[in-house]
Each structure stands twice: as C-alpha cells, then as structure tokens.
Amino acid sequence: MIYSKEILENLYLTMVKIRYVEESFIEPIAKGLIRCPVHLYTGQEAIATGLGASLSKEDYIFGNHRSHGHYIAKGGDITELIAEVYCRKDGCSRGRGGSMHIISPENGVMGIVPIVAGTISLATGAALSSKIRNDKRVTVSFFGDGATGEGVLYESMNFASLKKLPIIFVCENNLYSTHLPIDEIRTNRRIYEIAGPLGIKAERVNGNDVIEVYRKAQLAVEYCREGNGPYFIEYLTYRQRGHVGPDDNVQGTHTDIRPKNEIEEWLLNDPIIKMENIMIKEGGFTEYEISEMKKSIVNEINHFTDIALKSPKPPAEDSKMYLFYENEN
Amino acid sequence: MKMKINFGLAINQALHQLFSTDENIMLIGQGVKSPWYVGNTCTGLIDRFGENRVIDTPVSENAMTGIAVGSAITGMKSIVVHPRVDFVLYAMDPIINQAANWHFMNGGKSCVPVVFWLIINRGGEQAAQHSQALHALFTHIPGLKVIAPSTPYDVKGMLVSAINDMNPVVFIDDRWLYRFDEDVPEELYKIPLGKGVVRNSGNDLTIVSFSYTAKLCEEAVKELQKYNISAEFIDLRTIKPLDEDIILNSVNKTGRLLIVDGAWRFNGVSSEIAAIIAEKAFNKLKAPLRRLTLPDTPAPASSTLEDVYYIKSSDIVKSAIEILKF
C-alpha cells in the first residue's frame, strides 16, 4: 500500500459524503420538495474525489450540470449546497442558481453551468489568468463524453496547447450523453485520443478506482504546475442513476435507455465498494471502522440538511437583486 | 494637455494608459497584431506590454470569448475584440449564457469584468457578413451594458469606465468613425456609462442617435438651421442602460422626435425608444415620431445597392422636415 491510512480515510470519506448528499435528494425530488433539475453524481465519486485531493484550495475548478461531487471534493460548503438545491436564500448561489449553478469562489469552485461544454473555455481563461500572473495555480475543467461533440472543446484545447496553459481537461466518460449511449455519438470510444493531435499529453484512467485517479491526478497537477501543461485525462466510469432526477432510465421503463445487465455489471464495480475492499484488504481498516465512518457521514449530512432547510426561499421583493454588481465609483 | 487625435487613436491611447496603470488588464482577439483587422487601435501594445497580455489568437471566436470571460472571473479585467461584429455570432454562449447571467445566477458571488469590443466594418462592397450592426441583439439581454460612443473624447473616457466596470460591457465600435478627430485630454478620465449628452440645443424637434449615425445627425442639424429649424440633438453614447430622462426631457420640450439608428428597424433600439415615448410621453407629442433605420434586409455588396441601403445626413434632414410638416 503506497498511501497512509489518513489519505485513504480522507479519500473514502469524501466519496461517501458525495454519495450520501446525492442519495439524500432522491426522495425529496420524488416528492416534489426539490424542483430544480438535479443531475446525480452517484457512481462517479472517485473522479471528483481523487482530483479534489490533488489540488490546493487556491486551484480552480469549473464544472457542468453534474457537479455536486466536484463542489464537495474541492471543499465547497455542503450545507450551502443542499440549501441551493432546495433553492433557499442561504444557498451557495442565494437561491438564484439551483443545482446547476453552484459556486464557492473561496474554495476555487469558480463556475458550474449546464450548457454542455459551456465552462471549458472559461476554465481555459482561468488558466490563462494564472499564466499571466504566474501564480502557479492549476485549473481543472470537468466535462462529460457528451461535450466531445462541441467545437469549443477543440478550440480551447488548441489554444491551451499553443500557450502551454496550466489546465487539466477532465473528461468523465460515463457512457451516456443524456439519453444517447456513447456508440450513438462517436465512431469509437477512445476519447483520450482527441488530445494528442493538438499536442496535449493524454491518458485514460479507471475512473472507478479512487487510488488510481488520485495517483494519476497528482502527476497531472504537478506536470501543469511546473509549466508543462495542458493535460488531458479520460476517466472511464458509469452513471449509476439516470440523466436527471430520480428516474434511472432503465430499459423497459418510461425513459427506456440503459440495459439492466449493464447496470448490474457496473454496480459490481462501484467505486465506494471497491475502495472499502482495498481498505480492508490492504489498508488495515476493519469492517466495523468503515461502517462507523459511514454512520458518522450520514449523521453529518442529515444535520447539514436540517440546517439548510431552516433557510427560507428568497423573498419576492429581492427578485431583481444581483443583476449588476454595484461599482464603487 | 489636450491633443487632436482621431477616434482610433483615442482607443489606442486609452488602452496604452489603462495597460500601464493596471497590470490585470489584458486584450485578446483575432488580429490585434494587424491594422487590417483593428486599424490603429492596438498599435504598439504588444511591443510595450508583451504577448502574455496582448494576445492575437487562432480563429476560434467562441473559445476566445469564453477565455476572456474566464479570465475576468478569475481576477483579470479582460477585453476581447472581434474585428467584424459578424464574427461574434460564433460566441453567443459565453456572452449571453455565461457573462450576462453570471453575477445573478451565482447569487452575487462572482463578477465578470469583461469588455466585448465589436467592430462594425461596413461599406466598401463587403456584403452581408462583414457589415452587420447587431447591437440590438445585445441590448435585449439582462445583465449586459451596451455602449456606442461616437467621438474620440467619448470613446476614450467610456472605454476607461467600461474596462473598470465589474460587469460585462459590449462596446459597439464603428470603423467609419475612425477618421473623425478632436481634442482629447492626454490624461485618463472617465465618462459614466448610461448617460447621454445634448450635442445641440433646440426647440422644434428632438433627434436621438448614437455611434456613427450621430455624426450624420450633427451634419443634419447644421443643414436644418438653413431651413430655420432648431433641432435638439441627443447623442445617447450608451444604449443600455438607456438614458431615458435625457430623451423624455427633450421630447417634453419639443413634442417631436426623430430616432436615427444605423441598424435594422424591427425590434431595434429605435423600437424601444418609441415604446418608451408611447408609455411616458404619450400626450406630449405634436406629431407622430419617426424612425430612420436600415431597411430590414441584409447588407448588399454592390455600391449602387449600398448607396440606397445606408443612411445619409440628407435622409435625416428630409425626415425632420416631414415631421415638422405634420
């Protein structure tokens, strides 16, 4: 085992936090208590977790519609996230953004939007800021396999390569672009191959193995911090839930997308279960310790939810607030 | 100290002075190295401030605009130039979805101090895709400010305000303005955004315009004096937020209004001003207001067609006289 118990525990706790926050939304969505579109990260936790643990607080990340995990792994306040998903006044975006617009600039969570590929150029701009200021920050741009259909990805990669920007392009290939399986949007599944022709170092990593994600992410972060960027990583993973909301898009149901046997296979490859096995077999943890950790996270998230739900919705009289920043002069 | 300089050089002077006083200012866009694209506006910037902050780019309008937005979100004050307005249509997502909504949808947690500098470069038989004046598209969007100055003095002072504004600003520039010169103070100064100016006081009718057609209006006002018509001419300078008061005060006095906009008619800036007059000065009008705009057709190539397409100062004179005949 190459990592200390402390590192393993932190990686595990972050993954479990993300999982429980996501799963805590399922019932309220079904009951209509949460109304904004929510894209659950369940099944992909290892990617945000391994990358988040490799970055410093000052580093920047930009995300997409499925970004609760990115926000949490980068240190965003969980109570504020939950409040935002419920569109409350004390949410991280003050109830103006909902699940698809969460932000925590003080933790480097700089922008999350649901326009596919919409933040890739913004992230490239953030990396340009860092290059101009020579502040040694690294930016991570999170997007999915669906974004590989957008021209702005290639424009951004070309520019980042040309200017040697400190940015990691992270493609979370979960095999589905909303309702379309990957074979209906591309002629091959090897997404990482798009970066090489633009002069960008690229690799494919098992996105359900948090230790592997962490190990490779540290190398990529170091590579960019030393001025060798950009870097491209394709993480192979699987969207355990549906595209949006609690509908799991199982074949034979209303949305009729994913085959049951495929879902079952990937559930056996669940990143959290995988990590638990590693912790027990190689990390010196007991099953009891792990179950206690889980319990404490569940209690913590329940507590955060209680606090978040005490916040009211924003008052109607504030409907025009935040249109413009009020300049000082 | 003042110096007589033309419109393009006033932009150049503003950029040089802003860059030297604030190291967080950057400029990115296609052609910043080339007078072919940006005239004399960027002369000397790369030599003085380096290619890190003054960046000529691959032809990738969407990403370059998004990069300017992303830089602005992370502490820079960025300017992105599109040497033909037409090219910016590839970049509507970073402008409208991202920059315009950003401060609001993030609950005030983040700002986008970016200037989208869009240059209209019409005439010269350049046809439909090198000639469009698309400012009305941007004025429709909450969260954007849109400026369209017409004089060297204004463009320098308004650029200083725009670049220091913590919100996204669309700067509509027009190459037809670059030949005009006037005295411009050498030091940095600010002209507030959202304030129009009365360029000529008069009592018989109000003429409202901005950008290049403002210069045509100035000529027309002089011509109208020969007919003993005293026109009050307002140069709006900023088209959003619109200086409603300056228009209403004038129309309340004159009771007659001519709106001149060198862009299309339908749902244009002239439509918005007309609606404001209908809502807020309905009983002050002595005659129906008139709008002088481009026809709702694409810009042609051939010079004979261009000649009837673009507004001339004689058209403004004619429309003013017709309003007074009502």
Count of C-beta atoms within a 10 Å radius of residue A223: 17
Q: Is residue B34 part of a domain?
A: yes
> What mean pLDDT comes out for the span A84-90?
98
User: A323 touching B, CB under 8 A?
Assistant: yes
Percent of residues, chain B, with pLDDT higher than 90: 98
B215-228 per-position pLDDT tens digit: 999 999 999 999 99
Taking CA atoms, A276 is separated from A8, A44, A240, in Å, by 10, 15, 18
Considering only CB atoms, A97 lies closest to which of B70, B106, B167, namely: B106
B80-93 per-position pLDDT tens digit: 999 999 999 999 99
Of the candidates B126, B160, B185, which is a domain's last residue? B185
B79: β partners: B27, B115
**Distance (Å) from the alpha carbon of B112 to chain A's nearest alpha carbon:** 9
Positions of B marked catalytic: 61, 130
Give CA–CA dist B314/B320, Å, rounded.
10
User: A327 touching B, CB under 8 A?
Assistant: yes
Is the predicted pLDDT of residue A109 greater than 70, yes or no? yes
Same domain, B222 and B81: no
Q: Is residue B22 part of a domain?
A: yes
Is the predicted pLDDT of residue A14 greater than 80, yes or no? yes
Confidence of residue B36 (pLDDT cuts 50, 70, 90): confident
Q: Is residue B191 part of a domain?
A: no
How many contacts (CB atoms, under 8 Å) link A and B? 153
Of A109, A152, A167, which to mutate for an interface test with B (greatest number of B Cβ within 10 Å)? A152
B159-192 per-position pLDDT tens digit: 999 999 999 999 999 999 999 999 999 999 999 9
Same domain, B97 and B234: no
Same domain, B146 and B201: no
A204-238 per-position pLDDT tens digit: 999 999 999 999 999 999 999 999 999 999 999 99
User: A227 touching B, CB under 8 A?
Assistant: no
Of the candidates B132, B160, B185, which is a domain's last residue? B185
Domain residue spans of chain A: 5-310
CB B80 within 8 A of CB B115: yes
- Can you read off the two tokens belonging to residue A281? 């077999």
Same domain, B162 and B280: no
Counted domains in chain B: 2
Residue A250 DSSP code = B
User: A315 touching B, CB under 8 A?
Assistant: no
Q: Is residue B58 part of a domain?
A: yes
What's the confidence (pLDDT) of residue A1? 56
Same domain, B176 and B317: no
**Distance (Å) from the alpha carbon of A100 to chain B's nearest alpha carbon:** 10
Confidence of residue A88 (pLDDT cuts 50, 70, 90): very high
Same domain, B170 and B298: no
Inter-chain contact A121–B63, Cβ cutoff 8 Å? yes
Q: Is residue B192 part of a domain?
A: no
Same domain, B307 and B161: no
A23-67 per-position pLDDT tens digit: 999 999 999 999 999 999 999 999 999 999 999 999 999 999 999
Residue-range definition of the domain harbouring residue B230: 197-323
Contacting residues of B for A58, CB less than 8 Å apart? none
Give the CATH number of the domain where residue B101 resides: 3.40.50.970
The CATH homologous superfamily of the domain defined by A5-310: Thiamin diphosphate (ThDP)-binding fold, Pyr/PP domains (3.40.50.970)
User: A97 touching B, CB under 8 A?
Assistant: yes
Same domain, B11 and B136: yes
Q: Is residue B181 part of a domain?
A: yes
Inter-chain contact B66–A122, Cβ cutoff 8 Å? yes
Contacting residues of A for B69, CB less than 8 Å apart? 121-122, 125
Inter-chain contact B57–A159, Cβ cutoff 8 Å? yes
Taking CA atoms, A147 is separated from A203, A229, A290, B98, in Å, by 17, 21, 36, 17
Contacting residues of A for B190, CB less than 8 Å apart? 329
Is the predicted pLDDT of residue B33 greater than 90, yes or no? yes
- Can you read off the two tokens belonging to residue A206? 């098992």
Give the CATH number of the domain where residue B210 resides: 3.40.50.920
Helix (H) or strand (E) holding A272: helix A271-281
Of the candidates B185, B213, B232, which is a domain's last residue? B185
> What mean pLDDT comes out for the span A195-210?
98
> What mean pLDDT comes out for the span B146-152?
98
Same domain, B43 and B118: yes
Same domain, B202 and B313: yes
Is the predicted pLDDT of residue B45 greater than 70, yes or no? yes
Give CA–CA dist B173/B165, Å, rounded.
18
Q: What is the mean pLDDT of chain A?
A: 96
Inter-chain contact B111–A323, Cβ cutoff 8 Å? no
Same domain, B123 and B216: no
Considering only CB atoms, B106 lies closest to which of A93, A115, A329, namely: A93
CB A278 within 8 A of CB A211: yes
Same domain, B108 and B60: yes
Q: Is residue B190 part of a domain?
A: no
> What mean pLDDT comes out for the span A95-120?
97
Complex ipTM value: 0.97
Count of C-beta atoms within a 10 Å radius of residue B108: 17
Is the predicted pLDDT of residue A329 greater than 70, yes or no? no
Beginning with the edge strand found earlier in the chain, give each strand of the sheet holding B205-209 in spatial order.
B197-200, B231-235, B205-209, B257-264, B290-294
**Distance (Å) from the alpha carbon of B174 to chain A's nearest alpha carbon:** 26
Give CA–CA dist B269/B253, Å, rounded.
22
Considering only CB atoms, A128 lies closest to which of B71, B93, B107, namely: B71
Is the predicted pLDDT of residue A190 greater than 60, yes or no? yes
Percent of residues, chain A, with pLDDT higher than 70: 99
Count of C-beta atoms within a 10 Å radius of residue A305: 21
Q: B99: number of CA atoms within 13 Å, CB side?
A: 35
Inter-chain contact B109–A158, Cβ cutoff 8 Å? no
A102 contacts: CB under 8 Å, gap ≥ 6:
A63, A67, A68, A71, A76, A81, A84, A92, A93, A109, A112
What's the confidence (pLDDT) of residue A253? 87
